[in-house]
Structure formats: C-alpha cells, structure tokens
A = this chain, B = another copy of it.
Amino acid sequence: MTPSASPLTTDLYQLNMVQAYLDRGEDKEAVFEFFVRRLPPRRGFLLAAGLQDALDYLENLRFSEADVAWLAATGRFRSNLLDYLKAFRFTGDVEAMAEGTPCFPDEPLLRVVAPLPQAQLVETRLINILHFQTLIASKAARMVLAAPGKTLADFGLRTAHGAEAGLFSARASYIAGFDGAANVEAGRRYGIPVVGTMAHSFVQVHDDEEQAFENFARARPEGVILLIDTYDVEAGARKVVALAPKLKADGIAIRGVRIDSGDLAASARKVRAILDAGGLKEVIILASGGINEDVLQRMNEVQAPIDGYGIGVNLDASIDAPSLDCAYKLQEYAGRPRRKLSPGKETWPGRKQVWRRYDADGIMCGDMISLAHERQAGEPLLVPVMRAGKRLAPPPPLADIRAQAARALQRLPAPLRRLRQDQPYAVTISEPLRALAADIEAEARGR
C-alpha cells in the first residue's frame, strides 16, 4: 500500500550511529516519540495523518542484496552492519494517535519502542511520512472548515514536491474531508475518488471553442466539466447554453463548468445567471486557480455561486506553512528517561500519553500530557497499533479514517474552527511529568 521508497531513503548518520551501536552491542530498549514543537502562524490545531503509511514502512522495511552491496562498496561500513541490514526486520512496538485526530504541540503522535539500532534506523523515513501527511491534512482541514457544503478536490500534483508529495497530499487531504483528487495514482494506490475536468490546451487546439466543448462532451458522455475561461468566460458560458440542447438530444449531459482565472465570485455570478437563464440550473460551477482557505472563506461570505473548488499548490505545498517544526526524540533508553537540553529545544521526557476531555456537548475542552503510566481524566489518544513489528489490526479503509476525521473536526471548539487564531487550546502538563523533567535536568546539569 505504501509508495515504495528505497530503504536507503535515510540520512547517513543513522547508518553511522547504528554501526557504532552494533560495534558495542548497544541494543537495549529505546523509546522515541514523534511530536510537533509548535504550530505554524495562524494555525490553531493540527490533524494527525500518515500513520498507516508509517506502519507499512515499518512492517516492510527490508534491505535487498543490491542495497547492501552498494553500501558495502562505499567502504564506510563493516560486516556487522551489513549483515544486520541483510537480516533486518523491525520488531518493535508502536503506539499512536489515530489518523484524523486533532492534535497540538508537544503531544506525541507516535511512539516507537524497539531495540536502539532499530528505533534509530527508522527515524528519517518515519518523520518524512508523518511530517508531510500531518502538514497537508492540517492545511486541508482549514480549507474544509472554510468551505462548508462545498466540494473540494486536490488538483496539486503538478507542483507538488515530487511524485510522492502528490500522492501523500491526495491521501492527507481526503482524510481531512476533501472529496477527491485529480491524481490518478492516488485513485489506484489509496482508492481515492479521482476527478478531472479539461485543460485550456484542449480548447486551444480547436479553432472553435464550442466545437471543443462538444468534442470533449462526446468523449465523456457520462457528464463533463467544461473549462470556459480560455478566451472570455461569459462567452464561454453562452456557448455551453447553446450546446446543451444538442447534446441532450443525444443523451449527453453537461455536468458543470470550470472557471480558472479572473474575479471568481463576479465571474461565477455572471455565469450562474447565463446558465440559469439558459435552463441549465443543474449545471454546477467549479472554480480553480489560486484557491486557499482565505479565498474559500471570502467566497463563502459573499455567497459566490460556486459549487466546488479545485485546489492546487496552496494545498500540495501548504504554501503559507510548508513545514512543521517537528522531532522524533529519544525519550527513554534502557529503562531511564532522557531529555535534551539544547537551547530552545528542550523536550518532555519519558513515555507519554495525551488525555482529551470533552464538555457536555461533546466539544473538546482541554488536553493533558502525562506520563504513560498515569491515569488522568478524559480519553487517552495514544493507543497500541503495532506489537513486535506486526500491526494489531489491518489498516482501516480510508473512508473510515475520513469519517472519523469528520467527526473529530465537529468536536473542535469554535475558536479553533476559525482561520485566524486568538484563543489557543489548553494543553496542560501533568505534575508527575513536570517533576520528571525537572529531575532529569538537574541531573544532566550536574553531570
């Protein structure tokens, strides 16, 4: 299920460290947690995503003979490492938040408990998967909240950062509530509904725009979306009106039109009026081109007669915040909690749990981060998902993850549903966790 990336999709220092660990037999149980350090500007929450691809990675990570031979040929590694990689199987345990769960800084999204060399080796790719899908799901959730009742589709593959970014964007945005993606491979790989219209080039190869519309409609008789802004959007809409009866006589439906440029709200109003006057009230209007959550909110506020949106690079590259400050940090080794003290990068030590409380209406009203063994009020968000390298349950259908995310988004407090954030969500740290952090800091400073 996961896009196959080479097992050498890792940083050299992971292999160097594993070499050093193997040399000294340093393979006791290590605990790493993945978390985000802070929210990007204007964001009030994140939406966890990427878990199923991360688990696929852990279950299927193997080094082929060719992989190991290439590493051997670099002359950097000794036979103990090369043999270790040849036989590599991830045998650790994983706890994680379900995909589609709203989450906040310092809250672990995933915990790996495994022999140290294993837990270290998987760091780079685990972050690579979880960071990006969480980034995109979080961005997409803002768009979904800003466009109630509208159809949203991921059109961003072309300017996504490579093929896998396009695939992961389609998946993460679908989880967050998008309705589909233009990416055909996303349909095959993940079962995401694949959607598409037509390009300006199709109109341009025809000498006549109406002829272009007719040819495209006859090729897709189940209902097409015609792109009407290549030359003049109102003239394009009138051609659709003129063409519709002729096509209808042949049993061919025009499902909608797309506008990709200009003042979208104003164009949509003019187009809606032309279509309605032409008896095409059921023909929908899609818009694309520079759509982000602010545009969606503005369109919603002015009640632009737009039924759906195709969203490109603003989604796939999360333009306003193209990364999250995140980490996969060692929290415990050989039974002892660990804590990094680098300036500005202190972390909460030990194995942790997140407890979420809801008010009487079922709305989220505060999280607590505790040590894993504590019992606190609320719902524990980290649950066991892998034991000894094997998933505890088959991956849920993507539609189920999406439905779960939709329910979770309905439980967000009202201030977090807005695009601009002024009331941060309350995340508290339990007393035992604070005490442990203070103990470890005192010990390290004294070292």
Contacts and interface: CB of A to CB of B under 8 A. Distances in A.
Interface of A: 3, 5-6, 8-17, 19-20, 23-24, 26, 30, 32, 70-71, 74, 116, 120, 123-125, 127-129, 131-132, 155, 157-168, 182-185, 187-189, 194-202, 204-205, 208-209, 215-216, 218-220, 229-232, 260-262, 313, 317-319, 322-324, 326, 329-330, 333-334, 338-345, 444-445, 447
B209 A447 contact: yes
24 contacts: A5-B185, A9-B184, A9-B185, A10-B183, A10-B184, A11-B155, A12-B195, A13-B199, A17-B198, A20-B216, A30-B201, A70-B188, A123-B158, A123-B199, A127-B158, A128-B160, A128-B166, A129-B162, A159-B324, A161-B164, A162-B168, A229-B343, A231-B341, A231-B445
A159 B127 contact: yes
A162 B231 contact: no
B16 A220 contact: yes
How many copies altogether? Answer: 2
Contacts of A159: 127-128, 131-132, 323-324, 326
B447 A208 contact: yes
Contact of A158 (B11, B198, B204): B11
Nearest to A328: B158
B198 A16 contact: yes
Contacts of A230: 340-342
A201 B32 contact: yes
Given A20-B215, A200-B340, A201-B120, A184 B11 contact: yes
